[in-house]
Every structure is written in structure tokens, then in C-alpha cells.
């Protein structure tokens, strides 16, 4: 393990690496892991990846867990990247359009990435009881990984969470409590009871490890855009589902023209609730730059939210670094129904530093986009992921995405877990 310490993302205070932490002991903001990247780069190179296991733990040098026997894994990561030519043809300008399908993770969402890291570290640090507030997918992932690790899982979810998520947690042995309220209300219960009950709180960004699992999406994009001599690459048109090791390199059949393009997309469209995926990828790009994998050119990060729950979008356009709680938050995309997130400043910093933007869509637009994407690609997206398509069209109308650029839409989960949204 190359972890050197944990660092407060706001005040910079250093925290020891081999101990349980939630938030910064001084300012109460999220902690981020820091690595000896010079040491990591000696063995973690683009050329080393071809021979490694096909899961996110292939990036071991920049992930936590000292003892590999403590890794709790269901084979997460290495999700396919599809080049969606038919969907791209519906846009008013010519783009290279891709969908990163995180619905093919265990538990059918990107949340599996975060939980494999969080639960593995909990095991290494001697935790036996876990608690999490969740709008659905994080709960399902925690329940599954806690079950595999033999840990007690205590889950608090809004009562109107999609039933598939509730049943998933119950059937994997978790203690499930439904709350009349929002995820923030669930979080308040966990915070109030965790000391008494002996729970370790694995709320979004209230522990430092979930973001480490999420950041691997950035490393995978590097590979899939031809940054490494592997077969982990985009497959065209989503006409058939393939695993992440098959398909063709984006830069050509043999990757020979990689030198004429950056091994990353121009734009990343990311549906933003708690924002750990966006924050994590930005952290990954920083690590890759420090290790010499990429130069200073990074994707423009676009935060996509529902117009009825848009704290990040509102703060971005107001020029604020922190986002106030969004009152009366409501959206059928339950993963976007996060009225206040503790990582708000990290999201906003990444969006601004990348030259990106933040944008909203309506619930009608995002639900219609699920059907459009499905009919043209065969991918049944979560409403959150589908929100990125109408958002992209708005960016094109605003001349914020240009002809010929490469754009990746992140589908953060499978639509099968959101059936109530389509009734």
C-alpha cells in the first residue's frame, strides 16, 4: 500500500492513514487519501495493466488496503464503454458519443465501486457494524459487500425509495429502516445514533474510501480511450454487450494513432447527487498527471441535475463555492434527490477547473431519454444516466460542446431498479 496519509480536502490538515476516520477533526469536511505516487509509478504503468485482473483492484498501487486478504470484492469495475453511433446521429452536430455503462457492476450500479473500497478498509480496520443513509443504490451495494464480509449492515432509506433497492437490501441480510423524508433526514439519524450503536458511518464522503473506488472510472477511461496497450476499449454501437476487455481501441484497430489524440474524452457528462464519481475521477486525473500518464489537458466535467433538485447547478451559476440546501427537493431520479451534499465544493472546484459547467433537465426530459437511449442502443439506463442526453442537447444549443468532440455519458446504474419511475 502506498498511502502516506489522509488530507482534509478543505483545510489541508493531515490525518494518520492507519486509523478509522470520518470527517476532518478540525473543520468537518471530507478527507482524501494521498499516495506516494512516485513509488506507485514504479510498478503501476500503462504497460503493466494488460496482465492484471479484470476488476478495479488492478490499480492496487493507488487504492487503500495494506493486506490483500482484506479485499472484499464481487468483481466490480471494468465496465464497458460503448460508442453509440445511432444515438449520436440524433444530435444536431457530429460527435463521438459514448456511454460508460456502470449498470453492469455487481448490484447493478457504480456504487459497487465505492463499497468494495469502503468495506475492504472497514474489514482491515476491524469494523463489524456499518450504517449508511441512501437513496437506494448505495444501500444495495453496502448490503451486498457487508454480507460478503460478514458485517452487520444498517440501512436508512426514504420510504419512497424504489422497491427493488429495498428488497435487494432485505434479501442480502441488512437491517432496513424506511424514513418519511429525504436522504438528508436518513443521514441525520445515522449521525445521531452511530456512537451509541457502534456503527461506522459509510455515508457519501463522510468516510474517505468510497471515493477511492469511484475514481477507478477515470483510470478505466484512460485505458478505454487507448491510453494503455490493452484490449480494454470501446465497442461500437452497443449492439451486443461485451466485457471491458473486448472491442476495438478508440484510436483505431491497433491503437496506432493514439499519439494524435489525448487518451481521455473531451467532455464527461455526469449525473450528480452526492458527486463522489465526479470528484473521484477528477482525483484520478490528478494522480495520472503526477505519474506522467497524461498531460494537463483533462475532460470538461459537466454536472447534470434535475431542475427540482439542483443545489450544485444553482451554486455554480451563482458563483458560489458551497451549495445551500435545495428546498422541497423532488425527482423521479432518486439518485439525484440529494438536496445537500458535503462534497459540494469539491464538485464545483472540479467543474470550474476543467472548464465545464452545470446544467439541469426536467423529469419529463430524463424519463423520455431512458426510452430513447434504450431504443437506439439496447441499454436500459437509470433515469440519472439518461438525464445526460437532454443535458448534452442543451449544451450543444448553447455552443458549449463543439463539432467533432468526444463525449462520454455516464450511466450510473441499471434502469431495472427504477421501475416505479416508468409507471
Q: Is residue 330 part of a domain?
A: yes
In angstroms, the Cα distances linking 257 to 221, 230, 250, 254, 327 are 17, 14, 9, 8, 50
Confidence of residue 104 (pLDDT cuts 50, 70, 90): very high
Eight-class DSSP state of 214: H
**Degrees (nearest 5) of the Cα angle 418, 191, 131?**
50
What pTM does this model have?
Answer: 0.92
Q: Is residue 201 part of a domain?
A: no
* Residue 174 to residue 143: CA distance in whole angstroms: 6
φ/ψ of 24, rounded to 5, equals -55, 130
pLDDT of residue 332: 92
Residue 328 zone, left/alpha/beta (φ > 0; ψ -120 to 50; rest): left
Q: What is the mean pLDDT of the chain?
A: 92
All residues at 6 or more sequence positions from 114 whose CB lies less than 8 Å from its CB, including other chains: 138, 141, 209, 210, 211, 212, 213, 214, 276
pLDDT of residue 207: 94
Please check the confidence at residue 421 and state whether its pLDDT lies above 90. no
Q: Is residue 90 part of a domain?
A: yes
pLDDT of residue 259: 37
Confidence of residue 245 (pLDDT cuts 50, 70, 90): very low
* Residue 52 to residue 216: CA distance in whole angstroms: 14
* Residue 299 to residue 268: CA distance in whole angstroms: 6
Closest C-alpha among 196, 209, 187, 63 to residue 122: 209
Q: How many CB atoms lie within 10 A of CB 148?
A: 17
The mean pLDDT value for 96-119 works out to 97
pLDDT of residue 240: 33
Confidence of residue 262 (pLDDT cuts 50, 70, 90): low
Rg of the chain over Cα atoms, rounded to whole angstroms, equals 20
pLDDT of residue 228: 83
pLDDT of residue 232: 58
- Cβ–Cβ under 8 Å, residues 94 and 404: yes
C-alpha cell at 124: 482491515
Percent of the chain residues past pLDDT 70, beyond the cut: 92
Q: Is residue 301 part of a domain?
A: yes
**DSSP string spanning 129-171?**
EEEEE-SSHHHHHHHHHHHHHT-EEEEEEETTS-HHHHHHHHH
All residues at 6 or more sequence positions from 189 whose CB lies less than 8 Å from its CB, including other chains: 133, 156, 177, 179
Q: Which residue has the higher pLDDT, 178 or 235?
A: 178
pLDDT of residue 253: 29
Q: Is residue 410 part of a domain?
A: yes
* Residue 178 to residue 193: CA distance in whole angstroms: 15
The mean pLDDT value for 257-269 works out to 72
Instruction: State pLDDT tens for residues 36-65.
Output: 999 999 999 999 999 999 999 999 999 999
Q: What is the CATH number of the domain that holds 79?
A: 3.40.50.1100
Eight-class DSSP state of 414: B
Q: Is residue 202 part of a domain?
A: no
Please check the confidence at residue 255 and state whether its pLDDT lies above 60. no
Please check the confidence at residue 80 and state whether its pLDDT lies above 80. yes
The mean pLDDT value for 381-404 works out to 98
Count of domains for the chain: 1
Closest C-alpha among 287, 291, 285, 315 to residue 303: 315
Confidence of residue 236 (pLDDT cuts 50, 70, 90): low
Domain range holding 219? 71-109+212-422
Confidence of residue 18 (pLDDT cuts 50, 70, 90): confident
Q: Is residue 11 part of a domain?
A: no
Q: Is residue 409 part of a domain?
A: yes
Amino acid at each position: 500500500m502506498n498511502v502516506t496519509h489522509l488530507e482534509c480536502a478543505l483545510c489541508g490538515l493531515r490525518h494518520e492513514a492507519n486509523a478509522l476516520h470520518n470527517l476532518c477533526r478540525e473543520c468537518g469536511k471530507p478527507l482524501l487519501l494521498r499516495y506516494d505516487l512516485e513509488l506507485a509509478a514504479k510498478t503501476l504503468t500503462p504497460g503493466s495493466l494488460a496482465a492484471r485482473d479484470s476488476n478495479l483492484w488492478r490499480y492496487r498501487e493507488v487504492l487503500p488496503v495494506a493486506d490483500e486478504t482484506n479485499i472484499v470484492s464481487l468483481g466490480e469495475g471494468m465496465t464497458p464503454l460503448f460508442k453509440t453511433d445511432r444515438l449520436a446521429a440524433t444530435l444536431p452536430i457530429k460527435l463521438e458519443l459514448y456511454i460508460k455503462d456502470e449498470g453492469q457492476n455487481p448490484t447493478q450500479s457504480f456504487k459497487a465501486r465505492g463499497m468494495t473500497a469502503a468495506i475492504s478498509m472497514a474489514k482491515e480496520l476491524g469494523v463489524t457494524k456499518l450504517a449508511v443513509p441512501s437513496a437506494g443504490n448505495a444501500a444495495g451495494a453496502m448490503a451486498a459487500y457487508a454480507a460478503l464480509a460478514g458485517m452487520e449492515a444498517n440501512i436508512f432509506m426514504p420510504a419512497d425509495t424504489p422497491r427493488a433497492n429495498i428488497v435487494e437490501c432485505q434479501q442480502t441480510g441488512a437491517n432496513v429502516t424506511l424514513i418519511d423524508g429525504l436522504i438528508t433526514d436518513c443521514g441525520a439519524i445515522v449521525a445521531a445514533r452511530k456512537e451509541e450503536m457502534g456503527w461506522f458511518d459509510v455515508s457519501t464522503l463522510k468516510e474517505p474510501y468510497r471515493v477511492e473506488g469511484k475514481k477507478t472510472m477515470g483510470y478505466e477511461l484512460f485505458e478505454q480511450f487507448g491510453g494503455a496497450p490493452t484490449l480494454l476499449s470501446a465497442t461500437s454501437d452497443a449492439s451486443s454487450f461485451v466485457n471491458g476487455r473486448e472491442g476495438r481501441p478508440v484510436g483505431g484497430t491497433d491503437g496506432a494513432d493514439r499519439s494524435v489524440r489525448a487518451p481521455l474524452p473531451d467532455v464527461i457528462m455526469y449525473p450528480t447527487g452526492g458527486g463522489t464519481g465526479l470528484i473521484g475521477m477528477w482525483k484520478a486525473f490528478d494522480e495520472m498527471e503526477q505519474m506522467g500518464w497524461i498531460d494537463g489537458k483533462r475532460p470538461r466535467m459537466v454536472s447534470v441535475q434535475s431542475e427540482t433538485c439542483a443545489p450544485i447547478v444553482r451554486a455554480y451559476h451563482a458563483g458560489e463555492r458551497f451549495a445551500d440546501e435545495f428546498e422541497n427537493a423532488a425527482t423521479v431520479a432518486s439518485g439525484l434527490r440529494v438536496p445537500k451534499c458535503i462534497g459540494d465544493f469539491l464538485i464545483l472546484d472540479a467543474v470550474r477547473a476543467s472548464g465545464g459547467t452545470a446544467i439541469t433537465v426536467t423529469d419529463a426530459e430524463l424519463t423520455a431519454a431512458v426510452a430513447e437511449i434504450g431504443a437506439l442502443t439496447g441499454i436500459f439506463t437509470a433515469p440519472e444516466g439518461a438525464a445526460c442526453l437532454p443535458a448534452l442537447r442543451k449544451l450543444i444549443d448553447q455552443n458549449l460542446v463543439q463539432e467533432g468532440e468526444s463525449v462520454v455519458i455516464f450511466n450510473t446504474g441499471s434502469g431495472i431498479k427504477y421501475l416505479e419511475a416508468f409507471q
